[in-house]
């Protein structure tokens, strides 16, 4: 699972990345601080109790000791029986209006977003920067315009890719009809991670809104509309309404209502607040849980923090109350489990002990699509496991399940395979 952070410069993309991955990257109040992409892993909470809890209950009910029955994640961790699942974040350079014509840093860097399952646009709702990311004093801006220009630039990027060889693609329509164009689009966009079903969905959405004509007659505007639909299906876009700590309510509401009306996901966020909370937590100055609307100052914190630092933390407390947390937990949770309809499943090698070959309990928590089958999971683990699939076991119920059985969130699965 990979999510790209996009937006105009100086909105807080790198601050969000640094907060959520706990990797130090450059952050500054001017445009184009980031040039090369930052890639790192953030951890999100599964929506169910860790299956290790069920394992312990079973062992306890059979009268055995449960000491040491804790899951041992290969990546991620487990916190009070809530499994934290890894998600890759990619933070890229800022995009400005006209990027496809080479403005700002152009849009070449967008290929860094290849293979992303979704994008989060970080918007500066505080109106402290113009569309190019330069700080402004008058605090007037239009967050909807900021959202729309980005959508258009992303489409121009896709248009640039499909235009390269368009006539070749169009010729295939003469012999193969729509299928020829879909195949052409798939071949051209597979490099940025497009899947065939996404191309089909994007193409059909485009077709349903357009008057019929043959592709060799399509002008740039019409092709841009096709690119808009393809972007929507390949890279669904969600919004972090950032700098909400210093935003005017009307600016915030404007963009929130706009995005919600499109049935997309948006939450007010405060990236630098999340960053400060994570840093203070790491220094053992406070106790803060991701997603929470408050924190407590530790005994160590009470001893070490200066009165200035304490009043800084009190300001942060006010921000958390005002926004209802920093917004990122809700944003990412909703994107992954509702919009992208992912579930978390735990493949294991031993169906009784729920361990892998090395004795690790529930080492992997995989994010897969909601209707993933047992065989689909086998392929997600390894192609050989999929090719040699014989049967699987639902370890919670100990029932044997077939290749087409659809998995549920929180399932623990043992796959039997020839390989
Ligand atoms: N008030 C406020 N400031 C923020 C917030 N998030 C980030 N900032 C500030 O915004 C400025 C830009 O942050 P960056 O993370 O470097 O922005 P960016 O989008 O990565 O910028 P580029 O790499 O130039 O595209 C910095 O001064 C941050 O401290 C926030 O939630 N609230
Ligand atoms: Mg940056």
Is the distance from CB of 400 to CB of 393 less than 8 angstroms? yes
The CA distance from 118 to 198, in Å, is 12
**CB of 15 sitting under 6 A from ligand 1:** yes
Of 9, 11, 132, the residue with max ligand 1 atoms within 8 A of its CB, to mutate for a pocket test, comes to: 11
Per domain, the residue ranges of the chain are: 2-139+237-270+329-335, 164-230, 345-417
**Superfamily of chain region 345-417:** Beta-grasp domain (3.10.20.30)
Distance between CA atoms of residues 258 and 105, nearest Å: 28
Span from the CA of 18 to the centroid of ligand 2 (angstroms): 10
**Shortest-distance Cα residue to atom 11 of ligand 1:** 29
**Beta carbons of 351 and 395 less than 8 angstroms apart:** yes
Contacts of residue 248, Cβ cutoff 8 Å, sequence gap at least 6: 126, 127, 139
The ligand minimizing its distance to the Cα of 9 is 1
Ligand 1 pocket residue status of 242, Cβ below 6 Å: yes
pLDDT tens by residue, the chain, 419 residues: 999 999 999 999 999 999 999 999 999 999 999 999 999 999 999 999 999 999 999 999 999 988 889 999 999 889 889 999 999 999 999 999 999 998 988 888 899 999 999 999 999 999 999 999 999 987 788 999 999 999 999 999 999 999 998 988 888 888 888 999 999 999 999 999 999 999 999 999 999 998 877 888 899 999 999 999 999 999 999 999 999 999 999 999 999 999 999 999 999 999 999 999 999 999 999 999 999 999 999 999 999 999 999 999 999 999 999 999 999 999 999 999 999 999 999 999 999 999 999 999 999 999 999 999 999 999 999 999 999 999 999 999 999 999 999 999 999 999 999 97
3-state DSSP percent of the chain in helix, strand and coil, to 5: 45, 20, 35
Tokens of 366: 């995989």
Q: How far apart are CA 156 and CA 46, in angstroms?
A: 36
CA angle 170, 176, 180 (to 5 degrees): 50
The answer, yes or no, to whether any atom of ligand 1 lies below 6 A from the CB of 132, is: no
Q: Is 31 in the pocket of ligand 1 (CB under 6 A)?
A: yes
Nearest residue (CA) to ligand 1, atom 12: 10
Please name which of 331, 292, 346, 237 lies closest in space to residue 42, comparing C-alpha atoms: 331
Pairing of strands 412-417, 342-348: parallel
Task: Give the pLDDT score at 140.
Answer: 83
Considering every ligand atom, which ligand is closest to the CA of 271? 1
Residue from 6, 8, 12, 275 whose mutation best tests the ligand 1 pocket (most atoms within 8 A of CB): 12
Per-residue pLDDT, 409: 98
Residue among 81, 34, 179 at smallest CA distance from 410: 81
CA of 12 to the centre of ligand 1 (A): 3
**For the domain with range 2-139+237-270+329-335, which CATH number is right: 3.40.50.300, 2.40.50.100, 3.30.465.10, 3.40.250.10?**
3.40.50.300
CA 269 to chain centre: 15
CA separation for the pair 186, 189 (Å, rounded): 5
- HEC sequence for 332-400: HHHHHHHHCCEEEEEEECCCCCCECCCCCECCCCEEEECCCEHHHHHHHHCHHHHHCEEEEEECCCCEE
Ligand 1 within 6 A of CB of 21: no
The rounded distance, in Å, linking the Cα atoms of 271 and 269 is 6
pLDDT at 322: 94
How far is it, in rounded angstroms, from Cα 108 to Cα 133?
19
Q: Which residues lie below 8 Å from residue 356, measured CB to CB, with a gap of 6+? A: 348, 349, 350, 363, 364
Tokens of 4: 């790209």
Q: DSSP string of 57-83?
A: HHHHHTT---TT-----SSSEEETTEE
Number of Cβ within 10 Å of residue 391's Cβ equals 15
Residue 52 and residue 44 in contact, taking contact as beta carbons nearer than 8 Å: no
């Amino acid at each position: 699972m990979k999510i790209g952070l996009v937006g105009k410069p100086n909105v807080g993309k790198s601050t969000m990345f640094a907060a959520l991955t706990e990797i130090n990257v450059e952050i500054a109040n001017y445009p184009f601080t980031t040039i090369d992409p930052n890639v790192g892993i953030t951890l999100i909470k599964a929506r169910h109790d860790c299956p290790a809890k069920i394992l312990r209950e079973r062992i306890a009910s059979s009268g055995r000791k449960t000491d040491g029955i804790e899951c041992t994640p290969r990546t991620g961790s487990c916190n009070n029986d809530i499994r934290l699942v890894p998600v890759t974040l990619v933070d890229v350079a800022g995009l400005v209006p006209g990027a496809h014509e080479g403005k700002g840093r152009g849009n070449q860097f967008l290929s860094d977003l290849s293979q992303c399952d979704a994008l989060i646009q970080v918007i500066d709702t505080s109106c402290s920067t113009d569309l190019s990311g330069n700080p402004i004093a008058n605090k007037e801006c239009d967050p909807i315009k900021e959202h729309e220009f980005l959508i258009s630039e992303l489409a121009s990027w896709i248009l640039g890719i499909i235009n390269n060889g368009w006539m070749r693609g169009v010729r295939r329509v003469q012999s193969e009809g729509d299928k020829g164009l879909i195949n052409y689009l798939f071949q051209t966009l597979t490099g940025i991670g497009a899947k065939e079903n996404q191309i089909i969905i994007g193409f059909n959405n485009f077709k349903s809104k357009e008057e019929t004509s043959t592709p060799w007659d399509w002008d740039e505007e019409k092709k841009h509309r096709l690119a808009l639909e393809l972007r929507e299906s390949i890279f669904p876009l969600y919004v972090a309404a950032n700098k909400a700590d210093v935003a005017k309510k009307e600016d915030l509401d404007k963009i929130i209502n706009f995005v919600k009306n499109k049935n997309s996901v948006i939450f007010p966020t405060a990236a630098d607040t999340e960053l400060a909370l994570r840093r203070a937590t790491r220094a053992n100055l406070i106790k803060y849980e991701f997603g929470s609307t408050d924190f407590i100052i530790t005994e160590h914190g009470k001893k070490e923090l200066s009165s200035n630092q304490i009043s800084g933390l009190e300001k942060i407390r006010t921000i958390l109350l005002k926004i209802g947390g920093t917004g990122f937990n809700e944003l990412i949770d909703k994107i992954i489990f509702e919009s992208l309809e992912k579930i978390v499943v735990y493949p294991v090698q031993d169906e009784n002990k729920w361990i892998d070959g090395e004795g690790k309990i529930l080492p992997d928590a995989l994010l897969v699509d909601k209707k993933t089958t047992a065989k689909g999971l086998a392929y997600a683990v390894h192609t050989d496991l999929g090719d040699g699939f014989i049967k699987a076991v639902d370890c919670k119920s100990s029932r044997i399940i077939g290749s087409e059985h659809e998995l549920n969130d929180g399932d623990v699965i043992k796959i039997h395979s020839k390989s």
